[in-house]
Amino acid sequence: MKIGFIGCGNMAGAMIGGILRKKLVAPDQIIATAKTRNSIERAKKEYSIGVTPDNREAASFADVLVLAVKPVYMEEVLDEIADALKPDSIVVSLAPGKTLDWFAKKLGPDRKIVRTMPNTPALVGEGMTAICPNGNLSEEDIQLVENIFQSFGKTEITAESMIDVVTGISGSSPAYVFLFIEAMADAAVLKGMPRKQAYVFASQAVLGSAKMVLETGKHPGELKDMVCSPAGTTIEAVKVLEEKGFRGAVMDAVSACVDKGRGI
């Protein structure tokens, strides 16, 4: 299987890193394109894959072609590559806002198209990806796409109507979690802890807490209650978070992200 990436920025880089780490395919089975000389040289050096400025070369090489450019560049990229695609290849989009119908109008009604929403933890094998195939993919094709995304994390097949919600809760949420970790570490530094150590404590606490939700099956509220001793330290912090509107702020933030995805 040959995999192509149009664009080799943050998300494609995380996916390529994850695929190579898992040895799903050899580096010479991957080709990526970028626009600037800097990005091309960086990708060559970092991944030892084929890298070219020529999008049509990637399109004619790939059995699975991942469109990893920002939505605003999608139309010009499709116009450029449409007649260079292999006849039976699968086109995978990572872009919010661009629907399966929109792609079918650009590439033809018979083209195999998959809308996905991954996230950057792919880089460390902990990605989470929503996959929405159109009606032209066989079960085998869908399995192939799942295998690619499962090489760097978990996947769920979702309805297209859910994909913007996935952007809010998963595609974009690593950014909110990094803010949270940074803020906790800042507080620890304020109280005298060396910064490097603060990142280890804050990140491991987030990692372990997420694992508890996934592995115990317990309600997050119950897990929170297990940490809050009567008249203890934790409930003081929880009270401040509630007073400052932490939950409402998170809900508003995720909603704003979903709405933006729907409006692109």
Ligand X SMILES: NC(=O)C1=CN([C@@H]2O[C@H](COP(=O)(O)OP(=O)(O)OC[C@H]3O[C@@H](n4cnc5c(N)ncnc54)[C@H](OP(=O)(O)O)[C@@H]3O)[C@@H](O)[C@H]2O)C=CC1
Ligand Y SMILES: O=C(O)[C@@H]1CCC=N1
**Residue 52, CA distances (Å) to 37, 49, 85, 123, 205 in order:** 9, 10, 16, 22, 41
Determine which residue in the list 39, 89, 151, 172 makes contact with ligand Y, applying CB under 6 A.
172
Total interface residues for ligand X by CB under 6 A: 27
- Residue 10, marked binder: yes
- Binding piece for ligand X, criterion CB under 6 A, among 64-72, 201-209, 214-222, 240-248: 64-72
- Binding piece for ligand X, criterion CB under 6 A, among 103-111, 118-126, 176-184, 191-199: 118-126
The DSSP call for residue 51 is E
Pick from 257, 176, 167, 251: nearest CA to 184: 176
> Nearer to ligand Y by C-beta: 96 or 127?
96
Host H or E run for residue 114:
strand 112-117
What minimum distance in Å lies between the beta carbon of 232 and ligand X? 37
Binding mask 77-116 for ligand Y (x = CB under 6 A): -------------------x--------------------
What minimum distance in Å lies between the beta carbon of 13 and ligand Y? 13
DSSP reduced 3-state for 49: coil
- Residue 109, marked binder: no
Determine which residue in the list 31, 55, 100, 145 makes contact with ligand X, applying CB under 6 A.
55
d(C-alpha 22, C-alpha 30), whole Å: 14
Q: Which pair of tokens denotes residue 99?
A: 């629907």
> Nearer to ligand X by C-beta: 36 or 161?
36
- Binding piece for ligand X, criterion CB under 6 A, among 30-38, 145-153, 207-215, 220-228: 30-38
d(C-alpha 159, C-alpha 132), whole Å: 6
What minimum distance in Å lies between the beta carbon of 233 and ligand Y? 35
258 binds ligand X (CB under 6 A): no
176 and 253 in contact (C-beta within 8 Å)? yes
**Residue 190, CA distances (Å) to 57, 108, 182, 235 in order:** 53, 58, 12, 21
33 binds ligand X (CB under 6 A): yes
- Any alpha helices (H) in 4-93, and if so which ranges? 10-22, 37-47, 55-61, 71-81
167 binds ligand Y (CB under 6 A): yes
92 and 70 in contact (C-beta within 8 Å)? no
Binding site for ligand X (CB under 6 A): 6-12, 33-36, 39, 55, 68-71, 73, 77, 94-96, 117-120, 171
Binding site for ligand Y (CB under 6 A): 96, 167, 171-172
Point out the annotated binding site.
6-11, 55, 68-71
